[in-house]
């Protein structure tokens, strides 16, 4: 028979909190060919399996979602919110990422519309302490909602926006992300071409998950 004292002790334990809700938002506009999409997909899947990344995801009960986006009316939740309670959860999420199909092809780049769509996805994870949108892309917005306006809106709602800018030549996309996409508390990491993406997305995840002073 279950003892009352044991039950009361169990009930007194603090609930394990979700420290972070993270949307991984991927550009699949026309500038992204099939091979470049694969770099993003597999690079993210591999980064999630990094030992340090995996440990923090499960320790902090991080909630993850994947969004793909392209033109003004082309955004899709490809993997809905999943909470990482164990390393097994992280492995399952990584496998899901690796097998996900591409939702859009041959369309424009609407970064602001992607931000607007992502901002609306946090209602299911209201209990998470931090809310972050990670945007990966290789181009400036040429369609849809005003990008800087949506970034300001996110900041007002307490949502952090970080970016992985895929710059083939120079730093034009990185600078665009810094000026128009990220929030004041956010950051941009530069992927020097798509082959550098796996390294960059791992570094981005570690910076988001293991912040200075945490």
Residue 17: its pLDDT value, please?
85
Q: How many other CB atoms sit within 10 Å of the CB of residue 7?
A: 10
| DSSP secondary structure string for all residues of 49-89 | TSHHHHHHHHHTT-EEEEEEE-STT-EEEEEEEEE--SHHH
213 torsion bin: left (phi>0), alpha (psi -120 to 50), beta (else): left
192 torsion bin: left (phi>0), alpha (psi -120 to 50), beta (else): beta
- DSSP-based three-state secondary structure for 108: coil
In a domain? residue 1: no
On the question of pLDDT at 2 being above 50, the answer is no
Range of the domain at 72: 17-209
On the question of pLDDT at 16 being above 80, the answer is no
CATH number, residue 153: 3.40.50.410
pLDDT digits (tens, 9 = 90+) for 58-94: 999 999 999 999 999 999 999 999 999 999 999 999 9
16 vs 30: which has the higher pLDDT: 30
- Of 133, 123, 136, 53, nearest to 93 by C-alpha is 53
Give me the sign of the Cα torsion angle 183, 172, 203, 50: positive
Which range scores top for mean pLDDT: 77-86, 102-111, 191-200? 77-86
Residue 26: its pLDDT value, please?
96
b/e 20-30 (16+ beta carbons within 10 angstroms → b): bbbbbbbbbbe
User: 73: Cβ–Cβ under 8 A, 6 or more apart, which residues?
Assistant: 113, 144
In a domain? residue 12: no
Q: How many other CB atoms sit within 10 Å of the CB of residue 214?
A: 8
In a domain? residue 181: yes
Domains held by the chain: number: 1
In a domain? residue 2: no
In a domain? residue 44: yes
In a domain? residue 140: yes
In a domain? residue 4: no
Give me the sign of the Cα torsion angle 104, 106, 112, 113: negative
**Cα separation of 56 and 86, whole Å?**
10
- Of 69, 39, 192, nearest to 141 by C-alpha is 69
pTM over 0.85: yes
């Amino acid at each position: 028979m279950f003892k009352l004292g044991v039950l009361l002790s169990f009930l007194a334990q603090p609930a394990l909190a979700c420290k972070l809700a993270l949307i991984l938002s991927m550009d699949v506009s026309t500038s992204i060919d099939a091979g470049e999409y694969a770099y993003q997909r597999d690079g993210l899947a591999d980064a999630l399996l990094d030992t340090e990344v995996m440990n923090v995801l499960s320790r902090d009960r991080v909630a993850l979602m994947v969004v793909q986006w392209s033109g003004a009316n082309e955004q899709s939740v490809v993997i809905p919110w999943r909470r990482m309670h164990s390393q097994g959860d992280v492995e399952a999420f990584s496998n899901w990422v690796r097998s996900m199909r591409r939702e859009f092809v041959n369309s424009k780049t609407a970064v602001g519309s992607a931000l607007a769509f992502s901002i609306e996805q946090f209602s299911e994870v209201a209990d998470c302490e931090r809310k972050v949108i990670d945007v990966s892309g290789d181009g400036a917005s040429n369609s849809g909602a005003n990008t800087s306006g949506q970034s300001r809106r996110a900041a007002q709602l307490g949502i952090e926006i970080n970016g992985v800018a895929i710059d083939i030549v120079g730093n034009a996309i990185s600078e665009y992300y810094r000026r128009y996409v990220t929030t004041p508390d956010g950051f941009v990491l530069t992927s020097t071409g798509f082959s550098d993406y796996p390294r960059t997305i791992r570094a981005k995840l570690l910076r988001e998950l293991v912040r200075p002073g945490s």
